[in-house]
Structure 1
């Protein structure tokens, strides 16, 4: 399975022209506000996705872009650690520039996303760009080919996680490039789905679906799953982790019965 996390993707009318493939995949809406005032943010939203805990309520506010130290104990027990504990082959597929990792981890503040922090806390490597198992987090020269590579990785591992942050970056800083980012994401998904891979797609907050402003939104975010069986989908970000646990556990049980 590929868990494609798309930063900053809410559900909105503009997606009919910018990202019609997503709508063809029948996304289920997830509440990203978590019952907390203000605009949802990446640090708490991603932590909720990865752990099933309402990180925004725990802190008393939405917080981003990087999760605070108070959230690290949650991340240390989240998706990556749980999957490893089940004996699953897990890959955090993002490739990083070495100079970025040195800057992000070498100062007083840890400047890593919740996904990268959770992978690191679970003992998974943060791979350098160019590593045979790594994918750039966007801006692919061949998006269709990158999707096909992601499908090959998903066949080699039980769970592959790829964090696509280029869409959120474009929405904040380069809205004129959003159409190209949506085209890139579409080609990536087409390359992945053409290989028959099982896709889980989710986001942490809205942003790019309203390209006429650079701010986060309170719109629901999409949840897509292309595999079977499909348990009843969750209602908000905190439900994704336990929902995914149910899916993975059923697959492991089925595999055990077939061996």
Structure 2
């Protein structure tokens, strides 16, 4: 399975023009507000996705872009940690520039996303650009081919996680480039699905679906899963237990077939 996390993608009317490939996959809406006033943010939204604990309610506010130190105990018990404990092979596929990792980790505060922090806390390596198992997280010269490569990795590992952050970056800083980012994602999905890969796609908060302003939104975020699901989550906090149920169901089916 590929867990494609797309930072800053909500459901809105403009997606019919910007990202019709997503709508072809019949995304289900997830509440990203977490019952907390204000605009959802990446630090608490991603932590909630990865841990099943409402991080915004825990802090009393939405917080981003990076998780605060108070959320580190939650991230120790993330999807990555759980998957490894139950014996899954897991890959955090993002490729990182060494200079970025130095800047992000050598200061007074850890400037890494919840996904990167959770991966590291689970004992996974943050891979450098050029590593044979690493995928550049955005700005692909050949998005279709990158999707096909991700499908190949998803057959080699039980769970591959790729964090695509460029959509949120474009929405904040260069909204005129959003069509290019949506087209890139569309071609990536085409390449991945053409190879028969199993896809899970979701986000932490809305942003890029309203390209006429640079702010986050309170729109629901999409949930796409191309496999069979016993039920569907309604908000970010329900995603981890839902995914655990799917994986447990797969193991039971596998046991019956051996």
- Distance in 2, matches of 1:22 and 1:11, equals 10
1:222 and 2:222 aligned: yes
- Tell me what 2:42 maps to: 42
Which residue of 1 is the match for residue 139 of structure 2? Answer: 139
Gapped regions of structure 1 (runs ≥ 5): none
Counterpart of 1:119 in structure 2 is 119
CA offsets 1:137-166 (integer angstroms, 9 cap, x no match)? 110010000000000000000000000000
3-state DSSP of counterpart to 2:119:
helix
1:244 counterpart residue number = 243
TM-score, normalization by structure 1:
0.99
Q: Deviations over 1:169-226 (max 9, x none)?
A: 0000000000000000000000000000000000000000000000000000000000
* Contiguous gaps of at least 5 residues in structure 2: none
Instruction: State the partner residue of 2:128.
Output: 128
Match of 2:232 in 1: 233
Distance in 2 (CA, whole Å) between partners of 1:77 and 1:114 is: 12
247-256 vs 82-91, greater mean Cα deviation: 247-256
Query: In structure 1, how many angstroms separate the alpha carbons of the residues matched to 2:50 and 2:130?
Result: 26
Q: Give the TM-score normalised by structure 2.
A: 0.99
CA distance in 1, matches of 2:158, 2:167: 26
Mapped pair 1:256 → 2:221? no
3-state SS of the aligned residue for 2:213? coil
Tell me how far apart the structure 2 counterparts of residues 258 and 100 of structure 1 sit (CA, whole Å): 46
- Quote the RMSD (CA, aligned, Å): 0.5
Offset of residue 232 of structure 1: 1.4
Q: How many residues align?
A: 258
**Equivalent residue, structure 1, for 2:91:** 91
- SS at structure 1 position matched to 2:183: helix
- The secondary structure found in structure 2 opposite 1:243 is helix
* Corresponding residue SS for 1:87: coil
- Write out per-residue CA displacement over residues 56-86 of structure 1, whole angstroms, 9 at most, x where no aligned residue: 0000000000000110110110100000000
Structure 2 Cα separation of the partners of residues 225 and 33 of structure 1: 21
